[in-house]
């Protein structure tokens, strides 16, 4: 099975709604000028909650070939959960994807595997595709190697998930995020293969073959080609570089520019 490469831009806590509109316009125009083919590579942006409606309206009105995602979701349907945003609310905004279990959420907000699993199930219930983040710290890497912690996080997040569920897995070594020091393509492949093996054991062969596995952590246009040459790396979850339309467009255009 051929998996369509997926380039996802996580804006984190950056850009107000006017800045978001400007960035998406420039990104869409840059991609169009470069001859971007959405059939060959899928591109999605993940703005802060406050920007989602503005970005969704722009994408829809201009018919930009970009997908929309959110950066988090509540495990709850509704009720007295101040500050939470439910999967139903995101679905009403035509969000297709939602990031779950990002290392910054795990660290800053003390999200454990049980909460990540609850969020995954909440997202799937409303037709959202979870972009499930897993990854090891530098300490984990030294003690257990690269794949042990990510595989454990994946298995916990998939508890009770149906074999026909659509999801994306993003391997983000915590020590690489924002550091400027990416993992090697070989390490990304090692962990990607281990994650696909866990998917096969938990959800079956079909799920393992169709599920896209991304690499994230200091991704740039200069190193994306190496990652995408790996058989078990199907794209990238891009952080800081996604705030630069020209750089992010260059990452998304990796087949044309670097001959992958």
178 and 148 in contact (C-beta within 8 Å)? no
Name the nearest CA neighbour of 258 among 217, 228, 238: 228
Contacts of residue 109, defined as CB under 8 A and 6 or more positions apart, other chains included, come to none
C-alpha 142/C-alpha 246 separation (Å) is: 36
Q: How distant, in Å, are the alpha carbons of 58, 111, 154, 158, 166 from that of 45? A: 12, 23, 23, 24, 18
> If DSSP codes are grouped into helix, strand and coil, which group holds residue 34?
coil
95 and 56 in contact (C-beta within 8 Å)? yes
Catalytic residue, from 104, 111, 172, 247: name it.
172
Name the nearest CA neighbour of 6 among 86, 99, 125: 99
C-alpha 38/C-alpha 203 separation (Å) is: 28
> If DSSP codes are grouped into helix, strand and coil, which group holds residue 214?
strand
Instruction: Please indicate whether residue 172 is annotated as part of the active site.
Output: yes
Name beta bridge partners: 68.
45
C-alpha 218/C-alpha 224 separation (Å) is: 10
Catalytic residue, from 67, 102, 104, 247: name it.
102
- The string over 73-83, giving b where at least 16 C-beta atoms fall within 10 Å of a residue's C-beta and e elsewhere, is bbbeeeeeeee
15 and 47 in contact (C-beta within 8 Å)? yes
Residue numbers annotated as active site: 102, 172
């Amino acid at each position: 099975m051929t998996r369509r490469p997926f380039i996802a831009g996580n804006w984190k806590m950056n850009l107000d709604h006017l800045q978001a509109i400007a960035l998406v316009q420039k990104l869409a125009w840059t991609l169009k000028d470069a001859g971007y083919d959405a059939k060959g590579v899928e591109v999605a942006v993940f703005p802060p909650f406050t920007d989602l409606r503005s970005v969704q309206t722009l994408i829809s009105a201009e018919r930009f070939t970009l997908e929309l995602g959110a950066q988090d979701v509540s495990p709850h349907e509704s009720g007295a959960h101040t500050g939470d945003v439910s999967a139903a609310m995101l679905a009403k905004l035509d969000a297709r994807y939602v990031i779950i279990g990002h290392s910054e959420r795990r660290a800053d907000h003390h999200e454990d595997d049980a909460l990540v699993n609850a969020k995954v199930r909440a997202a799937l219930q409303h037709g959202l595709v979870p972009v499930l983040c897993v990854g090891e710290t530098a300490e984990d890497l030294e003690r257990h190697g690269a794949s042990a912690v990510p595989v454990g996080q994946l298995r916990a997040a998939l508890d009770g998930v149906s074999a026909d569920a659509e999801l994306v897995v993003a391997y983000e070594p915590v020590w690489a995020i924002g550091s400027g020091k990416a993992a090697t393509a070989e390490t990304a492949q090692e962990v990607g293969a281990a994650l696909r093996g866990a998917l096969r054991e938990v959800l079956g062969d079909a799920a393992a073959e169709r599920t896209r596995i991304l690499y994230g952590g200091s991704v740039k246009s200069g190193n994306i080609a190496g990652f995408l040459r790996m058989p078990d790396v199907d794209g990238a979850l891009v952080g800081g570089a996604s705030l630069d339309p020209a750089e992010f467009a260059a990452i998304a255009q990796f087949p044309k520019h670097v001959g992958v």
